[in-house]
Structure 1
């Protein structure tokens, strides 16, 4: 059953899209961002300006579709999820600003500035994005902070939006003209009628979602660790005569100092790791680039926890976002994403055994995820009627810390990107650091990695009250890479 009962020219938020809107509180924001570092010397006048970028966005907004020029339209009485429509007053200039770092323009100054920018919610009365050009970064570089609401975009759509704005050379490419097609939300009467129809059908929808979700309860963060859930899921698979699924580890997320209620302030740190070194580790120790990234995070977090006397005798639990898009299709809604829960073997002291444990755990959860639908997030979101969804989601966010419910400890995400240089208005993109989301439920720490042009660009965002110096995590990731490199070279040199 689809989320939309609308025509092809109308675009409504799915239940998952709407959840990202409903989840926002004073401390929990649901926007994602990227921090690009560019060499603006080849721009006209040697400076990347808001006017220059606004002109680019105006000419290419139709290539990126929703995130750049569409705004929200609320349904009367909140009876249904909002719709998207093209903003008739769309003006890119309103979304782009510039600031200057005080001398000397250090990386720390930039990180503090980005942390403050990331604390601010987006204006829902216009398209849900903004860009800030940050001048004065040491080395003559310029930073570009771009923020988009998660209700409008997921990781795949973010990559598509970047591709629309960036070029393969300093010379901008020719792009097709806008065909003039506009998206308009339905009128108030039609929205109310559709909302009432959905309300009448909602009990049926809920029953269908419950039936679809029951066999996959052991994939859902938090629920998976409850006693008897594994047996119940296995029973449901047997009753439905479905193929037996591979078992997965079901650890409980232990308490940490970054799994407390988050505050309004954000702290950000960025770093980079050489992709060649990561591939060398993968070649010597086996696994995938993602396995290496997870092992690096396990080692870095082990060091961070050990320094604070918080290291326990079990793993952390990481939420790992996974795209559900098939064959590059856009599918329904902005967010075609689910989450795998994976043990992170911070408790294993020996580097070789820790790497092996991470590989084995990731293999188990991936095989299970591939064999199942991966749609539990969509189905659970669909069980709550639209008029109640906002209150239910916000209550869950507030109640989880009060009852010490920790479905996961943190989010760890690895996003593959292009391995060649890209250009923005003629300025070469030197690095692109993802700056993601933290919440009371997912934890006050998020590590996201984006591979670009021979590097892994790392972005760490945290609640400043819980993790005031996320740059420590970057330092520990560098140490972890050195440790695994040494291990991989010893392994490669050992006689067979």
Structure 2
């Protein structure tokens, strides 16, 4: 039995029927040339034949006394037929029907008596395509580690056929490996402990710096400056999902012309889309919306480790600004200040300070708290870097990969994007009741990008 880090256990402790806390992904594949009608069915049978499962995908939560799930237990008798499922759309299935199915699948809770993941192969799509939807509890992985696992299960070679799924390693390496954090000679553990103590001691000046910024300097976007909005209300467990990709060349060209990063332009696309969407509904606040933008604290040496390692920057979306270029400038400057604030801090310090604006999400689970506490931010917008080249799964070309993320209580909309093969792939996940006509945001994203191109490119 292994104890969970606090950053992982909070995703289990805070979960309820109205608040599923798993992350997901939708991949769209083109069948290889000459593939027969049983191609997807055969893939499913092959997946069920895999008996070597990574330890990460054998973990199920275990309670300690009456406290709740604070430890991991290994499931040595995993039922793959439960976890790996085959579905089909009425042929010829359209993308709209696929997104409706993913919306329903994403709204159901994972079974805590089993390892916390599912994979769904979805057949019947038009144009000789099929899809894979996976969901894994956020206590097991964050978006970066999930994408890394996916990438390692695919190949750049379209002729390679011995590709295993993310939950099955090529070799039995993880079973014999020591638990993470115990590798290396004994002295390395002592050094790590001293490093952690040093970080905790130096956290106090960082908190003082944070407070000074809140009350005096006002030099960055700060918690509780966000206005109340249509997204900052109680939510249900039902989900709506919409997805689309945009050419990276278009986004990069705007960034070069404006002296902004790709991430800045992505945020400006979201800001413009949200502005138009809320104007349509008569719900645009006078004050600008504030986005929480996660930043990965993982390094390349982290490999395939699970768990969570993220910090948080609060960024104005300047939705009160009509001009798209001025809006982009404000967003770019806000992100620059946020990154500068964390400069020189350790991972522990960044994680600790990032927890401050997340505190209202925990408070929001208390009935009636939404009316008493202002939102620390209005929505989460994440950007997870993905593969730069086309990838294949047993000969099937992956055409798109779309993140399916988590709306929180008081945070009815989540926007997560990832890059893939020259495209920026947007995944929009919202509370089905609270965020009406979610797919309209896709149209507004295109309008927002085109408006910036018109003035800059």
Q: Answer whether TM exceeds 0.5 for this pair.
A: yes
Other-structure match for 2:248 = 275
Matches within 5 A, 1:25-44: 25-42=16-33
Contact 1:273 1:455 in 2 (8 A): yes
Other-structure match for 1:329 = 302
Q: 2:430 aligns with which of 454, 462, 482?
A: 462
Aligned-residue offset at 1:402: 3.7
Could you tell me how far apart the structure 2 residues matched to 1:393 and 1:278 are? 32
The reply on whether 1:145 has 2:133 as its aligned counterpart is yes
Distance 1:371 1:313, change over 3 A: farther
Where in structure 2 are there 5+ consecutive unaligned residues? 164-168, 180-195
Once the two structures are superposed, residues 448-489 of structure 1 have per-residue CA deviations (whole angstroms, 9 ceiling, x without a partner) of 111101111111000011112211111110111111111222
Other-structure match for 1:427 = 396
Task: Tell me the TM-score normalised to structure 1 length.
Answer: 0.78
Identify the range of structure 1 (374-383 vs 448-457) with the bigger mean alpha-carbon deviation.
374-383
Matches within 5 A, 1:395-474: 396-399=364-367, 400-441=369-410, 443-474=411-442
Contact 1:16 1:377 in 2 (8 A): no
Distance 1:116 1:75, change over 3 A: same
Distance 1:161 1:463, change over 3 A: same
Aligned-residue offset at 1:51: 5.5
Identify the range of structure 1 (42-51 vs 354-363) with the bigger mean alpha-carbon deviation.
42-51
Distance 1:76 1:393, change over 3 A: farther
Once the two structures are superposed, residues 254-303 of structure 1 have per-residue CA deviations (whole angstroms, 9 ceiling, x without a partner) of 12112110012111101111111011111111111101101111111111
Aligned-residue offset at 1:210: 10
Distance 1:135 1:412, change over 3 A: same
Q: 1:313 aligns with which of 286, 289, 311?
A: 286
Distance 1:411 1:66, change over 3 A: farther
Aligned-residue offset at 1:66: 4.3
- SS across alignment from 2:36: helix
Aligned-residue offset at 1:432: 0.4
Could you tell me how far apart the structure 2 residues matched to 1:393 and 1:335 are? 17
Distance 1:336 1:48, change over 3 A: farther
Aligned-residue offset at 1:139: 2.0
Contact 1:316 1:343 in 2 (8 A): yes
Once the two structures are superposed, residues 396-422 of structure 1 have per-residue CA deviations (whole angstroms, 9 ceiling, x without a partner) of 423441424311110101111111111
Distance 1:277 1:332, change over 3 A: closer
Where in structure 1 are there 5+ consecutive unaligned residues? 1-9, 186-204, 235-245, 384-391, 490-496
Distance 1:472 1:100, change over 3 A: same
Distance 1:60 1:325, change over 3 A: farther
Contact 1:66 1:152 in 2 (8 A): no
The reply on whether 1:125 has 2:113 as its aligned counterpart is yes
More helix, by proportion: 1
Aligned-residue offset at 1:100: 1.7
Distance 1:91 1:422, change over 3 A: farther
Q: CA RMSD in A?
A: 3.3
Could you tell me how far apart the structure 1 residues matched to 2:20 and 2:128 are? 32
Aligned length, in residue pairs: 429
Task: Tell me the TM-score normalised to structure 2 length.
Answer: 0.84
Could you tell me how far apart the structure 2 residues matched to 1:60 and 1:179 are? 14
